[in-house]
Amino acid sequence: MSTWQGVSCNRLDVVEGVFIPPHTHPRASEFIYITQGRLYIGFINIANRVFARVYAIGEVIIFPRGLIHWQFNIGEGPVSAFAVLNSKKPEFQTIAPSMLGSGVMEEVLQKAFWLDAWTVNRLVEEFVPIAEFIRGTVRL
């Protein structure tokens, strides 16, 4: 739900084994409050340090604007949480599809990820359909 006051609020219901992939919100910080279950949550700060642990009922985490973060239900039952973002349009940019499925020159990807041409080609083949789906150019 997006409000006229510049806040977006979402309820997250995450079944066992579901992974919300690394992503950013370029226009918002995010606050998550766990209401049911346990969720493995992490983010990477601007010094490339990982902060990750399992969060339980009643716990809160805040992701600063634009930082890479993820959530993973590690399989201990369903999880519910509320996510509040301080923007009506926080946007959602997934990391892997953004890099591997957007048409970035493969030589750039090889250098960025220290991978050989064959590996990059295989990854690009996997992520192009995902990126097209996210952009809305592929319909189910």
The residue with greater pLDDT, 8 or 33, is 33
Residue 4: the pLDDT is 65
pLDDT > 80? residue 5: no
**Arithmetic mean of pLDDT over the chain:** 89
Annotated binding site: 10, 23, 25, 30, 69
Separation between Cα atoms, residue 34 and residue 58, nearest integer Å: 5
Q: Which residues are annotated as a binding site for oxalate?
A: 10, 25, 30
User: Which residue intervals of the chain bear CATH 2.60.120.10?
Assistant: 8-90
d(CA 81, CA 73): 12
Please provide the DSSP assignment of 58-111 as one string: T-EEEEPTT--EEEE--SSS-EEEEEEESSS----EEHHHHHHSS---HHHHHH
Q: Which of 2-11, 12-21, 33-42, 44-53 has the lowest mean pLDDT?
A: 2-11
CATH fit for domain 8-90, picks 2.60.120.10, 3.40.50.1820, 3.40.1260.10, 1.10.8.50: 2.60.120.10
Name the CA dihedral angle for 125, 129, 131, 135, rounded to a multiple of 10 degrees.
150
pLDDT in tens, 92-127: 888 988 888 888 899 999 999 999 999 999 998 888
> In this predicted structure, what is the pLDDT of residue 129?
65
* pLDDT value at residue 103: 85
Annotated binding-site ranges for Mn(2+):
23, 25, 30, 69
pLDDT of residue 2: 59
Residue 88 phi, psi (nearest 5):
-70, -30
Is residue 54 pLDDT above 90, yes or no?
Answer: yes
133 φ/ψ angles, rounded to the nearest 5 degrees: -65, -45
Q: In 3-state terms, what secondary structure has residue 2? A: strand
Q: What is the mean pLDDT of residues 38-57?
A: 97
* Residue at 47: amino acid letter: A
> 3 or 86, which is more confident?
86
